[in-house]
Amino acid sequence: MDKQVNQFDEKLVYIENAGVMHKTENKIKSIIFDMDGVIIDSEEIWKRAEKEVFSSVGVKLSDELCRLTETMTTAEVTKFWFERQPWKNKSLWDIENEVIERVAHLINEEGKAINGIEEFIKSLKSKGFKIGLATNSPSGLIPVVLKKLRLDGYFDATASAEHELEGKPNPSVYLTVSKKLNSKPEACVAIEDSCSGLLAAKNAGMKTIEIFKDNTDSMKSEIADYQINNYDQFDISVLN
């Protein structure tokens, strides 16, 4: 057993943030990933699918309003546009499912993993961490994404906010995954790319890692205990 695995048994676990080490009484046992923007680069896929489907029923999407819907569930996005520009002949459920089906198709055709994610997850698994996934996206897209990225064998538990009363920043989807992993929230670290996701994990009582594309994308807030812009940069030993 290597040195890092031995360190995992120590009482105190340290998380680094901007050169400052914070400690928690609970050793980290599980790492929980968001999905979109964290394991798969899907932002443009969602934009295309929503534009195609909503435009087909006469909805005119604006960049300003689209930014407001970025962290919503698909059901919430559909309701959001219907309340502002109602359409006829198709139900909200029909439109929601058309968006999901279009996203699934585009993921299968064009989906790309976030750089370094496969190696990072393999490294976590080799060191004994449980791996979970908590997403606002529909549950039906989870196996599509994991299969496309060849990650379906690595996740010990997954959950979608589709099956919760509220999506992120409500913590329920994170609490569901931690329960499935048989890990206390304080023994979990969540990896997120959005403020609402970070808040959800924090509200659940978890440590947080923010992944961002560049310095302009970073929330630069105290919500995140640790910040990275790529997985190669993250030193797993800080979890131990």
pLDDT digits (tens, 9 = 90+) for 135-170: 999 999 999 999 999 999 999 999 999 999 999 999
pLDDT digits (tens, 9 = 90+) for 92-105: 999 999 999 999 99
Peptide bond just before 185 cis, omega within 30 deg: no
Beta pairing partners, 31: 131, 189
Which contacts of 122-126 are long-range, i.e. CB under 8 A and separated by 24 or more positions?
122/154, 123/236, 124/31, 124/236, 125/154
DSSP letter (8 states) at residue 170: S
Q: At what angle do helices 92-110 and 43-55 cross, to 10 degrees?
A: 140
pTM value is: 0.84
Q: Which fold has domain 43-110?
A: DNA polymerase; domain 1 (1.10.150)
- CATH of the structural domain 3-41+113-239, one choice from 3.90.190.20, 3.40.50.1000, 1.10.10.10, 3.40.50.300: 3.40.50.1000
Count Cβ atoms below 10 Å from residue 122 Cβ, excluding itself: 13
Banded model confidence at residue 189, pLDDT cuts 50, 70, 90: very high
Measured distance CA(225)–CA(222) in Å, rounded:
7
Catalytic residues: 34, 36
